[in-house]
Amino acid sequence: MTMLAVLGAVLAGCGNPEATRTQTLTPPSPAPSPSHAAKAQGTRTKPPTMAPGPAGLTPVFERRSGGSGDRSGKADKVVALTFDADMTAGQGQRAAAGEHFDNPGLITLLRRLKVPSTVFMTGRWAQEYPVQARSIGRDPLFEIANHSYSHYAFSSPCYGLPTVAKGDMRGEVERAFTAIRKTGARNVVPYFRFPGGCYDDASLKALAATGVTAVQWDVVSGDAFATDADAVAEQVLAGVKPGSLVVMHCTRSAAPVTDEAVRRVVPELRARGYRFVKVSELMRG
């Protein structure tokens, strides 16, 4: 029950964009050769990353600023849907007892609707669902990014999550990439999402050597523990602007109506002239 409360707190925390620290971004540019992340991404075309921030800190991306324009001056109507596949290091017993931290129905829906998406996966999730991780990571419709191994916080306070020691932060990212690669996933990109969206300068410095670009969001779906799919859909539809990055979840037990909300969001945004892209394409501009 304690771990359920902790997971609920952190997922609910994703519903408050003011609770996370973000930065004003400059257009992304190629970064120096990433070490572990470059080996992890495994795709033919190297995905874009951002140059290190001030003092060499890990760069942070949260949306494409304004989108690129056409000759009429209108912003490019692109949006990236991202899905956090959350599972903490200590939730194995709950999974063994029948709790579902996966959501294969959501992935099937995204395939049927042909929606390119980025899945931010914890290493523990990949270990629990290796067949699904491999399937997602070999489908060109998707790309897999890093969400840490244990889903513990990288700064404190962070919705009651246990905190990763500074000396262990780099290892958390590298361990997650290793777990994802072991499933056979190929489309693995050098992007990282902080659990709970919580970070500070110390954590950005600790991850600099991994070569990742941290990815936040500008639209909160509110799907964590939601029971009203229409309310989730309305929140997304009200928040999306050209270049937006939406955070949702790929966890049945924690976000049970996400697929139903997506079933409404996708056609409505397409009717407004939007096209869906993965984070790598959004970052490329």
pLDDT at residue number 1 = 41
Q: Which residues contact 85 (CB under 8 A, 6 or more apart)?
A: 101, 102, 119, 120, 121, 122, 125, 126, 147, 249, 250, 251
Cα 38 from Cα 97, distance rounded (Å): 37
Region of 73 please: left (phi>0), alpha (psi -120 to 50) or beta.
left
Cis-peptide, bond into residue 130, ω within 30° of zero: no
What is the pTM (predicted TM-score) of this model?
0.85
pLDDT at 17 over 60: no
Q: Which region among 22-31, 40-49, 112-121, 196-205 has the lowest average model confidence (pLDDT)?
A: 22-31
Pick the residue with more confidence: 245 or 32?
245
Cα 174 from Cα 178, distance rounded (Å): 6
pLDDT at 26 over 50: no
Q: Which residues pair with 61 in a beta bridge?
A: 215
Q: What is the pLDDT of residues 36-56, one digit of tens each?
A: 554 444 446 899 999 999 899
Q: What percent of the chain has pLDDT over 70?
A: 81
Please check whether residue 14 is in contact with residue 247, taking contact to mean a CB–CB distance below 8 angstroms: yes
Q: What percent of the chain has pLDDT over 90?
A: 79
Percent of the chain that is helix, strand, coil (3-state, to 5):
40, 15, 45
Arithmetic mean of pLDDT, 249-277: 98
| Burial (CB count within 10 angstroms: exposed 0-12, middle 13-18, buried 19+), residue 75 | middle
pLDDT at 108 over 70: yes
In three-state secondary structure terms, 92 is helix
Q: What is the CA radius of gyration of the chain?
A: 17
Compute the mean pLDDT over every residue in the chain, rounded to the nearest whole number: 87
CA 150 to chain centre: 15
pLDDT at residue number 109 = 98
Region of 211 please: left (phi>0), alpha (psi -120 to 50) or beta.
left
Please check whether residue 151 is in contact with residue 124, taking contact to mean a CB–CB distance below 8 angstroms: yes
